[in-house]
């Protein structure tokens, strides 16, 4: 990972989902479990160029904004040389000290967006998205 990542210009954006004016009706335990199940059932197959891939994780952060269930993501600056104007989730390569991919996702969200790790409620993770060098694990978390 490029060490200049913290110097990149990002815009924070929120995607709002108008499911119900009362988010407690949306975020029931049953719906949470169905969401995790669906995430785990997504199958992505790709043959990597390398035999061993580095593990990485992204946090897919759900949150409540103005009583609406929302998805927090970053919008990369148009001034960047690579991946400009792309929406992305906070994430990065798993460190040896992370222990698991959930910790990686939380650590990266804290580093990139300043999200306090204490408020992240990890719901689970999906299958890895296999790239040419990385296995990227989507980790679903709720920020409140």
Predicted pLDDT at 48: 59
Predicted pLDDT at 49: 62
Regions of the chain where pLDDT drops below 50: 1-20
Mind listing the pLDDT tens digit for each residue in 59-84? 999 888 877 778 888 888 888 887 78
| pTM for the predicted model, two decimal places | 0.75
DSSP class of residue 97 equals T
Which residues are paired to 55 by β-bridges?
135
Taking the C-alpha atoms of residue 120 and residue 142, their distance in angstroms, rounded to an integer, is 6
Domains of the chain: residue spans and CATH: 3-142 (3.90.79)
Taking the C-alpha atoms of residue 135 and residue 55, their distance in angstroms, rounded to an integer, is 5
Predicted pLDDT at 46: 62
Predicted pLDDT at 102: 96
Predicted pLDDT at 58: 95
Predicted pLDDT at 26: 61
């Amino acid at each position: 990972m490029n060490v200049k990542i913290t110097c990149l210009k990002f815009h924070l954006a929120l995607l709002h989902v108008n499911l119900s004016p009362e988010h407690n009706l949306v975020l029931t335990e049953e719906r949470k479990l169905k969401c995790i199940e669906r995430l785990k059932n997504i199958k992505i197959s790709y043959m990597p160029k390398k035999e061993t891939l580095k593990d990485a994780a992204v946090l897919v952060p759900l949150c409540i904004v103005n009583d609406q269930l929302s998805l927090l993501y970053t919008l990369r600056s148009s001034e960047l040389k690579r991946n400009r104007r792309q929406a992305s989730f906070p994430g990065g390569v798993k460190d040896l000290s992370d222990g698991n991919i959930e910790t990686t996702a939380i650590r990266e969200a804290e580093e990139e967006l300043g999200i306090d790790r204490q408020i992240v409620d990890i719901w689970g993770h999906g299958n890895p998205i296999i790239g040419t060098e990385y296995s990227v694990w989507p980790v679903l978390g709720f920020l409140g």
